Amino acid sequence: MARTIHIIGAGLAGLSAALRLSARGERVVVHEATAVAGGRCRSYHDASVGMVIDNGNHLLLSGNRAALDYLRGIGAEHGLIGPPAAQFPFVDLSSRERWTLAFNDGRLPVWIFDRRRRAPGTRALDYLALARLLWPPAGKTVGDIIACDGAVYARLIEPLVLAALNIDPPQASAKLAAAVIRETLAAGGRACRPLIARDGLGATLIEPALAALRERGAVVRLEHQLRGFRFADGRVEALDFGAETIALAAADAVILAVPPYAAAALIRGLEAPNQFRAIVNGHFRIAPPAGQPPILGVLNGTVQWIFAFPGRLSVTISAGDRLLDTSREALAKMTWAEVASVTGLPPELPPWQIVRERRATFAATPAQEVKRPRAETAWRNLFLAGDWTDTGLPATIEGAIRSGNRAAGLVTGR
Ligand SMILES: Cc1cc2nc3c(=O)[nH]c(=O)nc-3n(C[C@H](O)[C@H](O)[C@H](O)COP(=O)(O)OP(=O)(O)OC[C@H]3O[C@@H](n4cnc5c(N)ncnc54)[C@H](O)[C@@H]3O)c2cc1C
């Protein structure tokens, strides 16, 4: 009888592992605790705004090769939209200046030498800070490596690190910031095109994956939460789902693709990141004004990014922990006031929703970075996946998908 690979968790890590394995003809069963797949990357119908929204705005870059590969594999790459070139419009709420960072395609950063392409108030030499961040020594923060002040910091490095690592940059792991810079900015504009899911995360990243899995005969069991493992003889012997226990045959394997706090509760003694950072998103039901770019960076405000979708404007605030005790109404008013001032839309609050993900990502500090486990475990048929495992990347879609691919490769011995 063919073996079965059990995947626990239907976030992007679990789904990518399931897709890889089912494509190789393996029999796959995905067990997801909640009623929907997608984990931290999901869409839902929201009654306050009366439309389908994402739990949070997710940005991909054209250099996210595993994510693009995943999308191609499920036939959904056309669901991503973005400008044809690597351009990032910005507005500074203090000075009211507006500009567009426009990276050139090749690896040689010609844009740094062009006043019209770089951030105002910066000189080409100031960008050496980026080179210092490329190969930092282990265990350092961004603040240990560069001075966290000046225009290049405020207008490029701070927004980039905040968005990619979801943490105030002075505390951020320099190693993780370096990994992002090497795969994006240092790889040239071709790797930096911003991409968003036009029809939402669910329609683009999740539903086509579920359809592909179904087509290949994989089973996805929703509302099927793993309660515990039974270990024996150096392997997982059975999976305990409460009402049901599944005994594993000798060749069966398990990929645990749940968040770190869930994994630590299931595996006693597992070292895993245990500090987190929040992301706050505000969604406003209103047509974006003509000419509003799909993604706009905002400096010196509470809002950091404004995303424009058909019939909706959405804002993102990374490392938003300081806002967790602010009322949702106050947050909606505060963020809408900024959006209205940037877009010229009326100050009256449109229908809104505020979504706060308290544990959006693990805290990308050097101390948490060393707690990230490898995919292999002490049990020969149990492998870990998830954006928090030791991917070398911050907690991102790209990291989650790479972790799933890696765990799938270990299961098949590739
Ligand atoms: C608001 C927000 C904005 C973000 N923005 C970006 C962005 O712009 N770009 C980017 O690249 N990344 C972004 N991210 C990060 C990205 O969403 C995550 O890195 C990625 O989705 C993590 O996937 P995962 O599969 O590792 O984990 P998860 O998505 O957490 O999936 C784990 C799954 O396991 C399930 N589970 C838990 N316990 C059990 C159990 N016992 N049994 C069965 N199932 C269980 C959970 O229900 C969940 O479905 C953002 C995240 C948030 C929250």
Atom of ligand 1 nearest to the CA of 55: 1
Average pLDDT over residues 120-142: 95
Distance (Å, rounded) from C-alpha 202 to C-alpha 310?
A: 16
Bridge partners (DSSP) listed for residue 296:
306
Question: Does the CB atom of residue 281 touch ligand 1 within 6 A?
Answer: yes
Q: Grade residue 2 by pLDDT with cuts at 50, 70 and 90.
A: confident
Q: Quote the ligand 1 centre to 364 CA distance (angstroms).
A: 15
Pocket test for ligand 1, best of 20, 58, 195 (most atoms within 8 A of CB): 58
Residue 364 is predicted with a pLDDT of 98
The tens digit of pLDDT for each residue in 336-367 reads 999 999 999 999 999 999 999 999 999 999 99
31 lines ligand 1 (CB under 6 A): yes
Q: Is the pLDDT of residue 257 over 90?
A: yes
Q: State the average pLDDT for the chain.
A: 97
Residue 138 predicted with pLDDT over 90: yes
pLDDT-based confidence at residue 238 (cuts at 50, 70, 90): very high
257 in ligand 1 pocket by Cβ < 6 Å? yes
Residue nearest to ligand 1 atom 33, measured at CA: 9
Sign of the dihedral defined by the CA atoms of residues 48, 52, 53, 55, in that order:
positive
CA dihedral over 195, 89, 145, 365, signed as positive or negative: negative
Counting residues of the chain whose pLDDT is more than 70, the rounded percentage is 100
User: How far does CA 278 lie from the centroid of its chain?
Assistant: 12
Ligand 1 close to Cβ of residue 55 (< 6 A): yes
- Cβ atoms of residues 345 and 292 within 8 Å: no
Q: What residue's CA is closest to ligand 1, atom 13?
A: 396
What is the CA(41)–ligand 1 centre distance, in A?
Answer: 6
279 lines ligand 1 (CB under 6 A): yes
Other C-beta atoms closer than 10 Å to the C-beta of 249 total 10
Once rounded to an integer, what is the mean pLDDT over residues 231-246?
97
CB 164 within 8 A of CB 49: no
SS3 sequence of the chain = CCCEEEEECCCHHHHHHHHHHHHCCCEEEEECCCCCCCCCCCEEEECCCCEEEECCCCCEECCCHHHHHHHHHCCCHHHEECCCCCEEEEEECCCCCEEEEECCCCCCCHHHHCCCCCCCCCCHHHHHHHHHCCCCCCCCEHHHHCCCCCHHHHHHHHHHHHHHHCCCHHHCEHHHHHHHHHHCHHHCHHHCCEEEECCCHHHHHHHHHHHHHHHCCCEEECCCCCCEEEEECCEEEEEECCCCEEECCCCCEEEECCCHHHHHHHCCCCCCCCCEEEEEEEEEECCCCCCCCCEEEEECCCCCEEEEECCEEEEEEECCHHHCCCCHHHHHHHHHHHHHHHHCCCCCCCCEEEEEEEEEEECCCHHHHCCCCCCECCCCCEEECCCCCCCCCCCCHHHHHHHHHHHHHHHCCC
Answer yes or no: is the C-beta of 393 below 6 A from any ligand 1 atom. no
Residue 1 reports pLDDT greater than 80:
no
273 lines ligand 1 (CB under 6 A): no
Whether the CB of 11 sits within 6 Å of ligand 1: yes
Is the predicted pLDDT of residue 414 greater than 90, yes or no?
no
From 358, 357, 360, 349, select the one nearest 48 (Cα to Cα): 349
Sheet holding 235-240, edge to edge: 228-232, 235-240, 245-247
Give yes or no for residue 272 having a pLDDT over 90. Answer: yes
Decide whether any atom of ligand 1 lies within 6 Å of the 255 Cβ.
no
What's the pLDDT at 212? 98
Over 70: is that where the pLDDT of 5 sits? yes
Write out pLDDT tens, residues 153-200: 999 999 999 999 999 999 999 999 999 999 999 999 999 999 999 999
Tell me the whole-structure pTM to 2 decimals.
0.97
Residue 403, φ and ψ in degrees, nearest 5: -65, -40
In this prediction, residues 317-334 reach a mean pLDDT of: 98
Amino acid at 162: L
Region 107-126 average pLDDT: 95
Q: Ligand 1 centre from 37 Cα, in Å?
A: 10
**C-alpha of residue 33 to centroid of ligand 1, in Å:** 13
Q: Residues 147-172, buried b or exposed e (16+ Cβ, 10 A)?
A: ebeeebbbbbbbbbbbbbbbbbbbbb
